[in-house]
Amino acid sequence: MPATIVLGAQWGDEGKGRVVDYFAEGADYVVRYQGGNNAGHTIIVGDQRIALSLIPSGIHYPGCVPVIASGTVIDPKVLIAEMDMLAGLGFDPARVRISSNAHLIMPYHRKLDAAIERYLGRNQIGTTKRGIGPAYTDKYARFGIRVQDLFDPKIFAEKVEAGLRDKNKVLPRVYNTLPMDPVEVAAEYLSYADRLRPHVTDTSLLLWEALTEGRVVLFEGAQGTLLDIDHGTYPFVTSSNPTAGGAVVGAGIGPRMIDEVVGVAKAYISRVGTGPFPTELHDEVGDRLIELGGEYGTVTGRRRRCGWLDLLALRYAARVNGLTRVFLTKLDILSAFETIKVAVGYHSSEGSFTEFPAQQSVLYHCEPEYAELPGWGTDISGAREIEDLPGNARAYIEFVAETVGVPVGWVSVGPERSQLVTVT
């Protein structure tokens, strides 16, 4: 798999970190192409549990270069802290490559993110409050400040001043919060420049050279398909494109370079923050999924909303990403259930649906129609070969593949690196 995109096929937290960690063993580069430190990817290496938010999984393989590409938004303080954390664990962050075109998350973006959420009240999105939305807003409004600007102190100070000019009116007058001093903000950020300088490069050129030399490159999505700004459940989405198209735009490579697109999906589904969620469970089954699956946010610690696997949503993800294979995670969590449900249709006052509805109001009001599959009633966390899985678990995997129309390539049966089964 020379150039493979690994992305979330649901609302995030599908287990992308552990999947990328698995593939990264044979990779020369692992590339984050969008998002910022709103992501929380947990990987387990031996007895170490590592939570990454910005640096792609793969950092702990000495032969693998982690790349933070142009489509991302970077909070430099967080990035430096993450590099220090990794160095403390014995991994060498010197290899990290950062695009000079990536945008910076500024302190006023964080402040605005929190203020806007407060202002929205009941209608809030439930963002991670990391400043992601306001940073991308400035990027598209062409007020953004990029990594490369850090290396020209005069221009940088001017851009901060310009960036704060309107915000210093909006912060107190609209959001009832204090304005910020552009001189202080610029001074803080310029103090990060020397530390970041050795990592900053033209990552599009780096990746083009790597791909034309036949190197193995993995593109790691953050968030998930249903959180995509264009194809997700807008407006309850993030402000970037986690979908496959986002990988080529965000990394600065051509679509013909991509060989495989792997969609990571949990064997059930979860969502953090607000927004429609047809298969959400508000009963003790949902509570069990949350407790057994340890469904608490890596970044914010928030309890994740959980429900049965939604195959309309997964088929939608297969379509908008052109998935070539699915990686089904956390199959072990379903071992506790006698009967397992999967949504195969929706119905509402507007009719019946077998495809994920494009109309948000439909999604809000529809009820799922479930297929019920028998559970397997036994611990599968020790399975390593397809033959180790009980017949009902294999039937579950086949049902998913057939309904979605994409082969399930792998399933994982526990959080550790070795706890997975190759299916096809």
- Residue among 41, 60, 103, 199 flagged as catalytic: 41
Minimum distance, C-beta of residue 240 to ligand IMO, in the bound complex (Å): 8
The interface region with ligand GDP, picked from 95-103, 108-116, 366-374, 411-419 by CB under 6 A, is: 411-419
Minimum distance, C-beta of residue 333 to ligand GDP, in the bound complex (Å): 6
Residue nearer to ligand GDP on the CB measure, 271 or 330: 330
Instruction: Rule CB under 6 A: say whether 412 interacts with ligand GDP.
Output: yes
309/290 Cα distance (integer angstroms):
14
Residue nearer to ligand IMO on the CB measure, 113 or 149: 113
The interface region with ligand GDP, picked from 79-87, 169-177, 392-400, 412-420 by CB under 6 A, is: 412-420
Residue nearer to ligand GDP on the CB measure, 41 or 315: 41
188: Cα within 13 Å, side-chain hemisphere: 14
Contacts for 42-51: CB closer than 8 Å, 24+ residues apart: 42/17, 42/18, 42/298, 42/415, 43/17, 43/18, 43/417, 44/18, 44/415, 44/416, 44/417, 45/21, 45/417, 48/89, 50/86, 50/89, 51/298
13 catalytic, yes or no?
yes
For residue 235, whether the previous peptide bond is cis, meaning omega lies within 30 degrees of 0, is yes
176/88 Cα distance (integer angstroms):
40
Of Mg ion, ligand GDP, ligand IMO, none, which one does residue 414 interact with (CB within 5 to 8 Å by kind)? ligand GDP
Residue nearer to ligand GDP on the CB measure, 11 or 236: 11
SS3 state of residue 378 = coil
Of ligand IMO, ligand GDP, Mg ion, none, which one does residue 55 interact with (CB within 5 to 8 Å by kind)? none
Using alpha carbons, select from 308, 317, 66 the residue that is nearest to residue 207: 66
SS3 state of residue 310 = strand
Using alpha carbons, select from 14, 79, 1 the residue that is nearest to residue 227: 14
Minimum distance, C-beta of residue 14 to ligand GDP, in the bound complex (Å): 5
Of ligand IMO, Mg ion, ligand GDP, none, which one does residue 126 interact with (CB within 5 to 8 Å by kind)? ligand IMO
Minimum distance, C-beta of residue 180 to ligand GDP, in the bound complex (Å): 31
Residue nearer to ligand GDP on the CB measure, 242 or 275: 242
**CA separation, residue 163 to residues 8, 34, 365 (Å):** 33, 22, 41
Q: What DSSP assignment string belongs to 32-45? A: E-SB-TT--EEEEE
Q: How does DSSP classify residue 17?
A: H
In this structure, what is the dihedral angle of CA atoms 242, 245, 251, 253, given to the nearest 10 degrees? Answer: 170
Instruction: Rule CB under 6 A: say whether 130 interacts with ligand GDP.
Output: no
Residues 6+ apart with CB under 8 A from 397: 328, 331, 389, 408, 411, 423
103 catalytic, yes or no?
no
Minimum distance, C-beta of residue 223 to ligand IMO, in the bound complex (Å): 4
In this structure, are residues 74 and 129 in contact, taking their beta carbons and an 8 Å threshold? no
Residues that bind ligand IMO (CB under 6 A): 8, 12-13, 38-41, 125-128, 130, 132-133, 222-224, 227, 236, 238-239, 272-273, 298
Of Mg ion, ligand IMO, ligand GDP, none, which one does residue 15 interact with (CB within 5 to 8 Å by kind)? ligand GDP
In this structure, are residues 74 and 145 in contact, taking their beta carbons and an 8 Å threshold? no
Which of residues 124, 168, 274, 298 is near ligand GDP by CB under 6 A?
298
- Phi/psi at 358 (nearest 5 deg)? -80, -20
Helical (H) or strand (E) element with 376: none
- Specify the pairing of strand 217-220 against strand 29-32: parallel
SS3 state of residue 335 = helix
Instruction: Rule CB under 6 A: say whether 330 interacts with ligand GDP.
Output: yes
Instruction: Rule CB under 6 A: say whether 17 interacts with ligand GDP.
Output: yes
Instruction: Rule CB under 6 A: say whether 58 interacts with ligand GDP.
Output: no
Instruction: Rule CB under 6 A: say whether 220 interacts with ligand GDP.
Output: no
Residues that bind Mg ion (CB under 5 A): 13, 40, 298
Residue nearer to ligand GDP on the CB measure, 100 or 329: 329
Residue nearer to ligand GDP on the CB measure, 278 or 414: 414
The interface region with ligand GDP, picked from 161-169, 276-284, 325-333, 394-402 by CB under 6 A, is: 325-333
Which residues contact ligand GDP by CB under 6 A? 8, 12-18, 40-42, 44, 294, 298, 329-330, 332-333, 412-415
Annotated catalytic residues are: 13, 41
